[in-house]
Amino acid sequence: MINYKSRDEIKRMRHAGHIVALVHKKMKEVIEPGISTRELDSIAEKIIRENRAVPTFLGYNGFPGCICTSINEQVVHGIPSENIILKEGDIISVDVGATYGGMVGDSAWTHPVGKISGDVAKLMKVTEEALFAGISKMRAGNILDDISGAIEDVANREKYGIVRQYGGHGVGHQMHEDPFLFNYRVGDKLPLKKNMVIAIEPMLNLGGDEVVVASDEWTVSTKDGKPSAHFEHTVLCTEDEPMIMTQLME
Ligand code: MG
Ligand code: MG
């Protein structure tokens, strides 16, 4: 069932999204060689709670962190740890969820740690481009597959792998609501309508599509060990331009 959001729900989601964006802004400042992913988690938790929100991920199906921190070949759902220290040349995807007034904002960003190689920098740039290509299709009158196709076309252009088992999703009262959004065409003709909110989140790999889940039952990595990038925004469908909810409010 699709939950269309009321004016008041949209207002609270926008606030949740602002808090998520505050966390990402801080992450950009503090990510550098030598910091542990547990420290990043603590910084994120502090910002979320100071803004009277709740870290959505903490305890979600038992997840032990406030953010997901996925490094290099890790795609999503990496668990923050004091033993995981960022190194020069790594990339790290930070996925953040905040619940404010009962409504969720969900956004992920991949950051470089110091200086990174050219092919990995390009992977990041193209994955971000795929996100915005998807967002541009979040318009009333389009169908869900238009978003999937826009992401797929960008990935195919560069011959990047597309993660098949994970994708975007409706978001609102819950982090994961209907519909599920594939990052490649599946022929889903669901009409996009005003007041739908979807978290659009391409995960692209420098190598093949395939991923494996680690023995911690959370961390998803590429099977071939090649790097993966992940960018996500929570996006509202309006009568006009799509509205990115997980950005800073002026
Ligand atoms: Mg997310
Ligand atoms: Mg998400």
Position 250 pLDDT exceeds 90: no
Distance 152 CA to ligand 1 centre (A): 19
Which ligand is the nearest neighbour of the Cα of 70? Answer: 1
Residue 229 vs residues 27, 144, 162: alpha-carbon distances, Å? 16, 22, 10
Which ligand is the nearest neighbour of the Cα of 63? Answer: 1
Beta-ladder partners of 98: 55, 105
Distance 21 CA to ligand 1 centre (A): 12
pLDDT tens per residue across span 43-101: 999 999 999 999 999 999 999 999 999 999 999 999 999 999 999 999 999 999 999 99
Position 128 pLDDT exceeds 90: yes
Q: What fold is seen in the domain 7-244?
A: Creatine Amidinohydrolase (3.90.230)
Phi, psi (5° rounding) for residue 221? -125, 160
Distance 171 CA to ligand 2 centre (A): 8
Beta-ladder partners of 96: 67, 107
For the chain, the structural domain boundaries read 7-244
Q: Which of 115, 135, 134, 66 is nearest to 95 (CA)?
A: 66
Range 30-44 average pLDDT: 98
Distance 157 CA to ligand 1 centre (A): 25
Distance 25 CA to ligand 2 centre (A): 18
Q: Which of 151, 154, 191 is nearest to 167 (CA)?
A: 151
Which ligand is the nearest neighbour of the Cα of 231? Answer: 1
CB 96 within 8 A of CB 20: yes
| pTM assigned to the model | 0.97
Which ligand is the nearest neighbour of the Cα of 67? Answer: 1
- Can you read off the two tokens belonging to residue 114? 């110091």
Q: Which helix (H) or strand (E) holds 125?
A: helix 118-136
Which ligand is the nearest neighbour of the Cα of 198? Answer: 2
Give Cα 227 to chain centroid, integer Å. 16
Which ligand is the nearest neighbour of the Cα of 176? Answer: 2
Strands 74-76 and 233-236: unpaired
